Structure 1
Amino acid sequence: MHPMLNIAVRAARAAGSIIARGFENLDDLNVEAKGNNDFVTKIDKEAEKAIISKIQSAFPDHSFVGEEGGSINNNPDFTWVIDPLDGTSNFIKGIPHFAVSIALLYKGKLDQAVVFDPIRGELFTASKGSGAQLNGYRIRATKGKDISSTILATAFPFRDKARLQESLSQFTRIFSQVGDVRRCGSAALDLAYVAAGRYDGYWEKGLKAWDMAAGELLVKEAGGLITDYAGNNDPLYAELKAPGSANGLVAGNPRVVQHIVKQLKG
């Protein structure tokens, strides 16, 4: 395992322990609203602090971009992008579907990734050029197949209901042609599941850099493709350059991605 990936795994497990303990005591979360249908708990904050502390102990000069405000600008060559608890709404409601997401960018390019599900004990990892793994075993995205038999994943614009009709129209076009569609509430796990071949594809708009960073590298290293809604590459880098500018994300094998993009365009 790459040394930096090894540290990321340790950080993810440290955060996972905090999250698992918090999940056993949901009456003591101190839930706060960050925005419309956007919540944070003391567990999110504690988990992010644990991740940064663990990584800083090994790499004190690295930079960080964290969902819960843990942004530190040091060495720009090494930037960790962190979502300490992706799926906070599930967590708050006691739904056991959420994950820790950690990615490292080296000179602006994805280099290492970890998505850790602390409830199922599933650790998804990837290093650039070395493939993707689940608990140490190689995983691969699905290969081209009949669209009518695919299982896809998505999300609805729960923070921006003004986009609901557009989103429903896109959903209807896609859903009518595929096997089924899941909506589970964690972008990091949706992308990890695409990498593992559990889902054939995934699309969502409104993602932040920390939602997609680790999952994007997992999918690519598992042989999948990542585009935006227009079919352009690298929505993550658009979001990092100008937050809020990414034109959605589509993931899957090339055939599935091509089909989803076509339907998204109408």
Structure 2
Amino acid sequence: MTDLREILLSLSKELFSYMNEIRRDPDSSRIVGYHAGDTSRIADREIETFISQYFSKSGLKVKMVTEESGIIDPGNAEYIAVVDPLDGSSNFVMGIPWYSVSIAMFDADSSSLRESKAGIVANLTTGKTYSYDEEKAYVEGKTPVDSPNTVLAYYDIDQIDEAVEIMSKVKRPFKVRTLGSASLDMSLVCEGMASLYFDIRTKLRNVDIAASTNFCTRMGYRVVDDEENPINATISDVVRIKNWVIVTKKE
């Protein structure tokens, strides 16, 4: 039986080493195209290619649904991989060490974001990984100092009232941060290092949150919209999440 989680852990370790080459490339931040309303840089494309080639070397037949190219389908796929090659690309460009690769694996006949069999969110600056299989979630790497009085918040200027209403549910004094990588931010909350994550701009896509949503649910956290409904989406293509995304611990 194929251990998808172990394959993803090995992939993340090799990609972590490869990132040193990408960071040294002065052209890595150059914009080379646009997809799904976002920019695509050389670094994004190189990481996407690395992942695709790694799957091939591993003997896996994988259809990739990816932020950069949309769909990469070799035919006769056994699995679907929903991939954000570089979540936090603006941080990468500015030299801020908070960006990740996010990969969620599904059977080829799956259709829902919450049907993932395994996945990983890997911090590409520290090597720390948040991964899961069908039953459990795992956190590897150095754990930061506990700081659960932090709220990770994303909202537009005309949404201040809504943001304040969401944050008012936090019962003790807290700090607000906007770190810039949805998959890492969500994983940080579900590791217990922050109190709350929310993004009410309706700009997130399934590739941004597929792995982190499944990691969080296995950690006992809720990933819901403003009406407390579980966030879900198709995995057939890159699509925008049309609802608010809120991550909190189950009561």
User: TM-score surpassing 0.5?
Assistant: yes
Identify the match of residue 189 of structure 1 among 170, 184, 190: 184
Partner AA of 2:46 in structure 1? E
Q: Which structure: greater helix fraction?
A: 1
- Give the SS at the match of 1:226: strand
Q: Is the 8 A contact 2:5 2:119 kept in 1?
A: yes
Q: Is the 8 A contact 2:128 2:142 kept in 1?
A: no
- Give the SS at the match of 1:213: helix
1:168 maps to 160
Structure 2 segments unaligned to the other structure (5+ residues): none
Q: TM-score, normalised by structure 1?
A: 0.77
Deviation, 1:242, is: 8.3
In structure 2, the CA distance between the partners of 1:176 and 1:253, relative to structure 1 (3 Å rule), is: closer
- Residue deviations 1:122-162 (CA, integer Å, cap 9, x gap): 1111112123322399xxxx9xxxxxx842212235xxxxx
In structure 2, the CA distance between the partners of 1:136 and 1:93, relative to structure 1 (3 Å rule), is: closer
Deviation, 1:57, is: 2.3
- Residue deviations 1:39-91 (CA, integer Å, cap 9, x gap): 32211100011011111222443211011105223456621011111000010
1:259 maps to none
2:153 maps to 154
Worse overlay, 31-40 or 78-87: 31-40
1:42 maps to 42
Distance 1:129 1:28 in 2: 37
2:19 maps to 19
Structure 1 segments unaligned to the other structure (5+ residues): 143-148, 158-163, 256-266
Distance 1:196 1:218 in 2: 10
In structure 2, the CA distance between the partners of 1:65 and 1:36, relative to structure 1 (3 Å rule), is: closer
Distance 1:135 1:118 in 2: 12
- Residue deviations 1:214-240 (CA, integer Å, cap 9, x gap): 1011111111111122211133x2575
Distance 1:196 1:2 in 2: 27
- Give the SS at the match of 1:71: strand
Distance 1:62 1:220 in 2: 24
Deviation, 1:212, is: 0.2
CA RMSD of aligned residues (A): 3.0
- Give the SS at the match of 1:97: coil
In structure 2, the CA distance between the partners of 1:41 and 1:3, relative to structure 1 (3 Å rule), is: same
- Give the SS at the match of 1:45: helix
Q: Is the 8 A contact 1:238 1:245 kept in 2?
A: no
- Give the SS at the match of 2:15: helix
Q: TM-score, normalised by structure 2?
A: 0.82
- Give the SS at the match of 2:230: coil
Q: Is the 8 A contact 2:205 2:238 kept in 1?
A: no
Partner AA of 1:247 in structure 2? N
Deviation, 1:98, is: 0.4
Would you say how many aligned residue pairs link Structure 1 and Structure 2? 237
Worse overlay, 43-52 or 108-117: 108-117
